[in-house]
Each structure stands twice: as C-alpha cells, then as structure tokens.
Amino acid sequence: MPYKDKDEQRAFQRDWLERRKEKFFKGKSCKKCGVTREEKELQLHHKDPSIKIDHHIWSWAPERFWNEVKKCDILCRDCHEELNSKIESKKD
C-alpha cells in the first residue's frame, strides 16, 4: 500500500537505502588505507569510469547491483576524493 504522506515515504526510502549501505559495507575496509566503516565512511569507486552505468546503484535489483559493484573498489571517503582529484588533474 503506498504512503499517503510523501515525506513519510521519502524518509522510509532514505532509511532503507542507508540500511542497505550499512549491510553492504559491514566488515569491509578501504582498499588503499585499510580503515573500516566504523572509522570512516566507505564508498564505491569505479575502477574504469568509462564502463560505469551510474552511481545511484543502491536501490537497484540485486543482480544489476552486483554487476555494477564488480566494477568497483571500496575506498574510504578521503582516499576516494584523493584518487578522483588525481584522475581529474590528469584530464587537464
């Protein structure tokens, strides 16, 4: 049954996505520096951006989600930002 209150629906969806991310990253660590989710936020980094379909993958169906995750490394936010800045500077 759909939500009558759109704000309640959006809150449910945000909570659901956050639980899915927490479950995915549980027990995992940054590939570069080794920190865990408990220490810093972990993120997915596409190894080859040219084959990236999208970055909004958390609500995708399981098979599609895992096919995209296979193209990624797990990095902490700091390492991810550092790597992306290096990639951007090479483009210039």
Full pLDDT tens readout for the chain, 92 residues: 577 889 999 999 999 999 999 999 999 999 999 999 888 999 999 998 888 888 889 999 999 999 999 999 999 999 999 998 887 777 65
Instruction: Give the tokens for residue 70.
Output: 């296979």
Tell me the pTM: 0.80
Domain presence at residue 53: yes
Determine the Cα–Cα distance for residues 76 and 54; give it in Å rounded to an integer: 19
User: Which domain range does residue 68 map to?
Assistant: 6-91
Residue 39: per-residue pLDDT = 86
Residue 86: per-residue pLDDT = 81
Q: How many domains does the chain have?
A: 1
Residue 81: per-residue pLDDT = 94
Q: What are the residues facing 72 on neighbouring strands? A: 46
Domain presence at residue 85: yes
Q: Are strands 72-76 and 42-46 parallel, antiparallel or unpaired?
A: antiparallel
Determine the Cα–Cα distance for residues 1 and 90; give it in Å rounded to an integer: 50
